[in-house]
Amino acid sequence: MSNSGDDRSEHELRVSKIHNGTVIDHINGGQALNVLAILGIDGSQGEEISVGMNVPSDRLARKDIVKVEGRELSQDEVDVLSLIAPDATINIVREYDVVEKHRVERPEVVVGVLSCPNDGCISTGDEPVDSRFEVVDDGVRCSYCGTIVREGIASLIEH
């Protein structure tokens, strides 16, 4: 059955457009919850969040998509996001229109964003040292102790 000229099934679930905020598209399938963790979004601040997981994609076989009403991402957030969602596209929405659209770019270094999992690292002690990680092909490497992290990067986000 057609709906106002739309030939999609009337049983299909649709996610509404956001008024103002950010749409993170082309996230690798299954990574949306890690994206939310990286951004510190858990719904406790009353954020309106829409998440689509493992939906069909032309560019990726399957993708996730996250829409966050009322929030635009900082460059630091985008840099860290790029570590687990290197193919993501960031869309900034204002008054229901996309006003900015860009692909994430992996930085060479992230500073003060991740905590080193090595308890013996100078960045985890009492010294006033910001964490510093070099971005490598398949993860990040602590600039101080050399610890390499390939999985679980989202759990190292400093909040």
3: pLDDT strictly greater than 70: no
- Checking if the pLDDT of 158 tops 70, the result is yes
The CATH architecture to which 21-103 belongs is: 2-Layer Sandwich (3.30)
| pLDDT of 47 above 50 | yes
Mean pLDDT of 86-114: 91
Going from N- to C-terminal start, the domains of the chain cover: 21-103, 109-156
Q: What is the mean pLDDT of the chain?
A: 84
121 among annotated binding-site residues: yes
pLDDT for position 94: 95
For the segment 80-89, the average pLDDT, to the nearest whole number, is 87
Q: Using 50, 70 and 90 to split pLDDT, how confident is the model at 11?
A: low
- 110-154 confidence digits (pLDDT tens): 888 889 999 999 998 888 899 999 999 888 999 999 999 988 887
Q: Is 105 annotated in some ligand binding site?
A: no
| Token pair 């990067």 in the structure block, residue | 153
Q: How many helices (H) and strands (E) does the chain have?
A: 2, 9
d(CA 109, CA 135): 6
**Amino acid at position 156, single letter:** L
Fold classification of 109-156 is: SH3 type barrels. (2.30.30)
β-strand pairing of 132-136 with 62-69: unpaired
The reply to whether the predicted model has a pTM over 0.85 is no
